[in-house]
Amino acid sequence: MKVLLPVFVREFYLTHTGFFLLVIAFAGGFMRSYDHIALGEFFISSPLVLVIPIVFWFLYNLKVINFNGEKIRQNENEFIFCFMLFPVSRQWWMAIRVVLIQLLPVFVYGLFLSLLAWKHEMMNSIIVILIALKILVIISAYHLLWSLHHPNYEKKVSFISRFLNLQFKKAFPLFFIEWMTRHEFAMLLGTKSFSALTILGITALYKTDIYDLRLLSIGIIIVSVGNTGLLHAMHHFENFHLSWLKGLPLPFLKRIFYSLLTIVIILLPEMVFLIQRFPAGQGLYNLAISAFFLFSIAFLIYGLLYAKDRNQQEIMTLVFYCGIGWFVLVLFDVPILLLGILNALVGLALWKKFYYSFEYVSRK
């Protein structure tokens, strides 16, 4: 157990620090205690509505399963397969303990909802919550045990992959995108859903009242800061999985072009949402500078990642303070075009200055 906890539990929480910080910031910063209670009471009002948090719990569980699967596949963790030498009952007990700790946030919220349901004497809701939690634990623990019992599974290549590999070669800016969709799909989906909801919510406000560009700019800051996890993953991919990249004789312009193109692809969904939902009265010029502002923040974050080796928690903290700075400047009506140009120039300067001297130590 002493071996399983650092590999699966500590690493899980370290890897997802940014995600948890974001949830804590959202839950603690925007919602007051009675908002939480009101939302909880809404959830337990009927078993049908209770499906909403349960869906989120299953998505979180997917994150746990993906993480555990990835850890087991890593060569450095091959020693864990000795686990199979334990009696089956002990294996189950250990797997359940691991996933119970990984699912702790879900259990805490489940307990909160159960207490609310108890207070309102809604036994049906309590039963649904308990069944859902039990299923989550069984699924995760079973997956963990199954993966540990099937270490050298045959890697099959699908017909479509074989066909595509035969016909085409992948373009470099798509390397990271493919890696992301294969290995960090939950993060990608979560980030893009968060961006979509933020843009939809903010642009909807323009239909009810008259606002200037500042409201949308604040939304763009939130969306860009929300992409920090993805940019950190891109940086990790470049420096860990493509560590040989720095040894290639690529001119600076080409290197930066590849990186910019990758960032543009990452931000493509936000650009599409922005174009689709852009407030009618704001005009094309404002749309163009808003898109540029969104992109410039992402590029600055990318430059900051090369300036100093930072883990996800450190970069999140730094970006959080930058976000406050942009927020205040936007409130004081500093033009976002100016902020965008500054962000892009600082990002470029940091990247150019530190690219070769940067040394990657932190993993994730």
Partner 1 sequence: MLKVINFSKSFSGELIISVPMLELQPGTYWIKGENGAGKTTFFKSLSGLIPCAGDVKFSDGISLTRSPIRYRERVNYGEAEPLYPGFLTAKDLIRFVGKARNTAPHQQDLLMKKFGIDEYFEKPCATYSSGMLKKLSLAIAFLGSPKLIILDEPLITLDENAQKNLVGLIDEYIDKHEAIVLLSSHQFLENTKIQINQSFTIKNKTLTAFNPT
257 interacts with partner 1 by CB under 8 A:
no
Residue among 220 and 232 whose Cβ is closer to partner 1? 232
Residues binding partner 1: number (CB under 8 A):
29
Using CB under 8 A as the criterion, what x/- string covers residues 163-192 for binding partner 1? Answer: --xx--xx-x--x--xx--x----------
Q: List Cβ neighbours of 109 (8 Å cut-off, separation of 6 or more).
A: 53, 57
Shortest distance (Å) from residue 242 CB to partner 1 = 7
Q: Which two tokens stand for residue 86?
A: 């334990």
Which one, 90 or 241, has the nearer CB to partner 1? 241
Q: Among residues 2, 87, 251, 280, which is the contact residue for partner 1, using CB under 8 A?
A: 251
Per CB under 8 A, 246 contacts partner 1: yes
The angle, 0 to 180 degrees and rounded to 10, between the axes of the packed helices 336-354 and 213-226 is 20
Q: Which residues contact 138 (CB under 8 A, 6 or more apart)?
A: none
Structure tokens at 308: 């100093």
Quickly list DSSP for 182-223.
HH-HHHHHHHHHHHHHHHHHHHHHHHHS---HHHHHHHHHHH
Alpha-carbon torsion angle 179, 65, 269, 198, nearest 10: -150
Q: Is the dihedral of CA 349, 289, 25, 176 positive or negative?
A: negative
In the complex, minimum distance from the CB of residue 51 to partner 1, in angstroms, rounded to a whole number: 34
Please, what is the minimum distance in Å from the beta carbon of residue 79 to partner 1? Answer: 17
**Between 89 and 357, CB nearer to partner 1:** 357
Among 100, 358, 362, 364, binds partner 1 (CB under 8 A): 358
210 makes contact with partner 1 (CB under 8 A)? no
Beta carbon of residue 4, minimum distance to partner 1 (angstroms, whole number) = 25
- How many whole angstroms separate alpha carbon 99 and alpha carbon 103? 6
161 binds partner 1 (CB under 8 A): yes
- Cβ at position 164, least distance to partner 1 in Å: 9
Applying CB under 8 A, does 241 fall inside the site for partner 1?
A: yes
Interface with partner 1, residue 162, by CB under 8 A: yes
Judge whether 248 and 355 are in contact, CB under 8 Å: no
Q: CA-CA distance, 10 to 101, in Å (whole number)? A: 10
Q: Where are the alpha helices (DSSP H) in 103-212?
A: 104-119, 123-149, 159-167, 173-183, 185-208
- Shortest approach of partner 1 to residue 303 CB, angstroms? 17
Shortest distance in whole angstroms from residue 184 CB to partner 1: 13
Quick check: 359 binds partner 1 (CB under 8 A)?
yes
Given 249, 280, 285, 321, the residue binding partner 1 (CB under 8 A):
249
User: Is-contact 104 29, C-beta < 8 A?
Assistant: no
Q: Per-residue string for binding with partner 1, 218-237, x by CB under 8 A?
A: -------------------x
Is residue 252 near partner 1 by the rule CB under 8 A? yes
In the complex, the smallest distance separating the C-beta of residue 274 from partner 1, rounded to whole angstroms, is 30
CA-to-CA distance for 297 and 313, rounded, in angstroms? 18
Least gap, CB of 146 to partner 1 (angstroms):
20
Q: Which of 51, 189, 242, 337 binds partner 1 (CB under 8 A)?
A: 242
| CB 100 within 8 Å of CB 25 | no
- Measured distance CA(261)–CA(112) in Å, rounded: 45
Return the residue matching tokens 């992402």: 298
Residues contributing to the site for partner 1 (CB under 8 A): 155, 157, 161-162, 165-166, 169-170, 172, 175, 178-179, 182, 237, 241-244, 246-252, 356-359
